Amino acid sequence: MRRTLVLVGCGVALLPATAAGSVSSAPKGLTPQAATAAFGHLLRQFYGSVHGYWTCPARASFNGNVDCMGEVEAGGEWHMVSARAYRYHGIVDFHLPRAVTWTRRWSPYSRHFILRSREPQAPGVVSANSPAYDWGWLALRADDLKDGQRVAADAYDGNAAGFERFYRFTCVRRGGLITCRNALGDAMRYRPHG
């Protein structure tokens, strides 16, 4: 269901400044807008015609670099890709790109995703339609919901500023089932009592 790919090489995608959106006009570093345009180009280089969402947000910008993340579909497979964009002699380069690829479908209920989490273990079992998130962490955040309650919960242990569309989930409890979904369609069904 899941393949993790580490895309090797600092020169994975060297894009001319004109293709990346006037990168050279940013004297103190790479702008988030130019990085996002170049990241979209990188995703199309990897996967061809894609649809989905990608961003290199200003809140993930530091020292002239910008962290980027995207979740796109191509040919029936979903790809979550992250990389750090930086400007190198007028071109946009991506450092340490990582990708997780999967076919979106519901997994059987199990403790698999909960046991993968490095956090304290939530009780119960999880079914998810994507392996790209720390579902055990999200289950731990949603475990104390009351019947009929709806809350926003983060599936990231840290500062996800600028990446809320990926990591912010709306969770609702109906009886013994808690369902959490983000804006991209990634979802978890969680039964706290198995």
Tally of CB atoms within 10 A around 46: 18
Q: How far apart are the C-alpha atoms of 184 and 36, rounded to whole Å?
A: 18
Give the three-class secondary structure for 39.
Answer: helix
Q: Is 67 left (phi over 0), alpha (psi -120 to 50) or beta?
A: beta
pLDDT category of residue 7 using cuts at 50, 70 and 90: very low
| pTM of the full structure | 0.81
Taking CA atoms, 81 is separated from 18, 52, 108, in Å, by 23, 11, 25
Residues 93, 15: one domain?
Answer: yes
Q: How far apart are the C-alpha atoms of 102 and 132, rounded to whole Å?
A: 8
Residues 59, 136: one domain?
Answer: no
Q: Is 107 inside a domain boundary? A: no
Residue 193 has pLDDT above 90, yes or no: no
- Tens of pLDDT, residue by residue over 107-144, are 999 999 898 877 778 999 999 999 999 999 999 999 98
* Domain, as residue range, for 45: 2-102
Asked whether 149 and 172 are in contact (CB, 8 A), the reply is yes
Residues 93, 145: one domain?
Answer: no
How do 150-154 and 168-174 pair as beta strands?
antiparallel
The residue from 73, 102, 131 where one domain ends is: 102
Q: How far apart are the C-alpha atoms of 179 and 139, rounded to whole Å?
A: 10
Q: Is 81 inside a domain boundary? A: yes
Residue 25 has pLDDT above 60, yes or no: no
- The torsion angles phi and psi of 134, rounded to 5 degrees, stand at -85, 85
Number of H helices, E strands in the chain: 5, 11
